Chains A and B, each alone.
Chain A
């Protein structure tokens, strides 16, 4: 099936600066993207979140998610306040980067925002992130299972799955399947020169990680949502990089429609 494709707004950050949000949306719309996710980081977004409710109408783009980064014990109130107030987005992607008081405090924080999510019709997808407290899909699945709450799920990030060398893609995705709310992909190669000294981030047509196989695996667990392109670290002429990513993902979808079972890999 053809997935919707969105870009993370971090695509528009480089060593040269940050594109205006208006330019971000215009570029994505012109290129034919379906949506964008906006980052509010640890509570200090570079984009005015009050603009989100009008993005669909103004640019024809879905706001596929709002990315938040919890530093437990440090910015809990900021994150909670955003979840309590944000409009124009239905999915919160939550990474847990650091913690002062440990895992029980993280769980208490999640517990405290679930009623807000429920009341406001939001979903919260935990976002595994290399070098963060919750880095692997297994760790976030465990939290999802613990709460078993319809408003709590997980985001699959192909880059962080690959970079953390969690492996066993099919099994990992099957374990995530009941909770899977969002997907983000990136090209990547294990390399000390890459992000965090672990793996490069590249357009989805580059790197050792085979995104064709990843999308095939996502299809096999019935994922029909949007696929995000990560865009961080590699910048350059953003427009052309976005175009490459979109072309690649559309082509992968097209090939998987012709060959729905994807690659039938044999082990090396």
Chain B
């Protein structure tokens, strides 16, 4: 084990209800995770400063969605967040990136400077900011050291952005963290696009994705996505993802060349 493995807390928000923070953290610790990303709608934002001293876990980021009308809420999260310095920000103020998003960022970046926070744009399928290409364009436009990108393998796959190597090269100057999920294209999946599953499932090859990151020298943390649609026993799903991740990590160390694929002829 060498890379920090986090899990997004969405996995604990199931159709049956949401696990209490203590249970979330105890499960993550038991499976050898190093941290979690907390969603901004979590009831536990105020408890973030207690997570590290109590369970030894890092809250690597808070995941937040900006939609029109949420300006005050978003600003308030930035103004009040304690115990975590990174906000993974999804932008969904319209069908594409809009001036509402730009105005929001103009308002948030000075708060980041003042409070020592960082924004990682989170490209998200079916949102205004969907692709890594759009996130890169926005980062270029703002050219601000506190505005960067989290690469989400799931959304890259679900949006069928393709050209993984080129996308990672283009992202590289802004790439802070990576989120991954097991996924396959399916109308039954999230947004009618692709499933969200534990890392040992799905059609997308996360070993190849992690290999491409490794070749570029990525040393940041990796978060696992998780979503209520994967269903079932959360503890078991957490274990499957952790086991699969450590297996991939170990294989990449032993056989980095295995992850070098050739393109399928069309």
Show the binding face of A for B, using Cβ within 8 Å.
13-20, 22-23, 26-27, 44, 46, 193, 233-241
Contacts and interface: CB of A to CB of B under 8 A. Distances in A.
Contact of B204 (A13, A27, A235): A235
A15 B258 CA distance: 16
Interface in B167-194: 182, 184-188
Contacts of A23: 255, 257-258, 260
Interface string B237-266: 000000010011001000101101111110
Given A236-B201, A237-B205, A239-B251, 19 more contacts: A15-B203, A16-B164, A16-B209, A17-B261, A18-B264, A19-B261, A20-B258, A23-B255, A44-B265, A46-B265, A193-B188, A233-B203, A235-B202, A236-B184, A237-B199, A237-B207, A237-B247, A238-B207, A239-B258
B206 A237 contact: yes
Given A17-B261, A18-B263, A26-B258, A237 B244 contact: yes
A27 B248 contact: no
Interface of B: 157, 164, 182, 184-188, 199-209, 244, 247-248, 251, 255, 257-258, 260-265
Contacts of B202: 235-236
A17 B262 contact: yes
Given A193-B188, A234-B184, A239 B207 contact: yes
6 contacts: A15-B185, A20-B261, A22-B257, A27-B258, A193-B188, A233-B203
A15 B204 contact: yes
Given A14-B205, A16-B208, A17-B263, A236 B257 contact: no
Contacts of B206: 236-237
Contacts of A17: 208, 261-264
A102 B184 CA distance: 38
Nearest to A44: B265
B185 to A, nearest CB: 8
A15 B264 CA distance: 8
B257 A20 contact: yes
Given A14-B205, A16-B205, A235-B204, A240 B263 contact: no
A235 B35 CA distance: 28
Nearest to A238: B205
The A interface is mostly helix, strand or loop, or mixed, namely mixed
Nearest to B261: A17
A16 B204 contact: yes
Contacts of A233: 203
A17 B263 CA distance: 4
Contacts of B263: 17-18
A239 B246 CA distance: 13
B174 to A, nearest CB: 23
A234 B195 CA distance: 12
Contacts of A22: 257
Contacts of A239: 207, 247-248, 251, 258
Contacts of B205: 14, 16, 235-238
Given A237-B205, A238-B207, A16 B261 contact: yes
B157 to A, nearest CB: 8
A235 B185 CA distance: 12
Contacts of A241: 200
A234 B185 CA distance: 10
B247 A236 contact: no
Contact of B248 (A13, A46, A237): A237
A237 B261 contact: no
Nearest to A24: B258
A14 B203 contact: yes
Nearest to A192: B187
Contacts of B188: 193
A146 to B, nearest CB: 35
Query: Most A CB atoms within 10 A — which of B157, B247, B258, B264?
Result: B258
A18 B184 CA distance: 17
A234 B184 CA distance: 8
A239 B258 CA distance: 10
B63 to A, nearest CB: 25
